[in-house]
Amino acid sequence: MVTTSQLTGANFRAENTRMNTWQKIDAENLVRHKSGSYYLSAKVHGKKMRKSLQTKSLRIAKIKRDEMLKVLRAGEIHAGEKIESLRDVLQSLDFSFKNNPSLKPRTVQYYETILDILERTLPVEKSPKVLTPGFLKKWWMGICENYHSTRANNTLSMMKKICKFLMKKGSLITDPSEDLKRVKVQLKDLTVPTREEFGQLVEEVRRQNRRFSEEAANQIEFMAYSGLRHGELMSLRWDEIDSDSILVTGGEGGTKNSEKRYVPIVEPLKVLISKIKSNDDSGLVFSTRSVRKALANACERLGLPHMRIHDLRHLFATTCIESGVDIPTVSKWLGHKDGGALAMRVYGHLRDEHSRQQAAKVKF
pLDDT in tens, 87-106: 988 988 888 888 777 777 77
Whether residue 7 has pLDDT greater than 70: no
Domain that holds residue 50: 19-60
283-317 CB burial, b ≥16 within 10 A, e <16: eebbeeeebeebbeebbeeeebeebebebbbbbbb
Q: In this predicted structure, what is the pLDDT of residue 12?
A: 43
348/220 same-domain check: yes
24/169 same-domain check: no
160/110 same-domain check: yes
Judge whether 321 lies within some domain: yes
Q: By the 8 A CB rule, do 327 and 340 touch?
A: yes
Judge whether 186 lies within some domain: no
Rama region for 198: left / alpha / beta (φ>0; ψ in -120 to 50; rest): alpha
Beta bridge partners of 39: 31, 52
257/313 same-domain check: yes
User: Which of 11-15, 119-123, 284-288 shows the lowest per-residue confidence on average (mean pLDDT)?
Assistant: 11-15
Judge whether 267 lies within some domain: yes
294/145 same-domain check: no
Judge whether 26 lies within some domain: yes
301/199 same-domain check: yes
312/221 same-domain check: yes
Please report which confidence band the pLDDT of residue 226 belongs to, taking 50, 70 and 90 as the band edges: very high
pLDDT in tens, 317-329: 888 988 888 888 9
CATH number of residue 93's parent domain: 1.10.150
Q: In this predicted structure, what is the pLDDT of residue 13?
A: 47
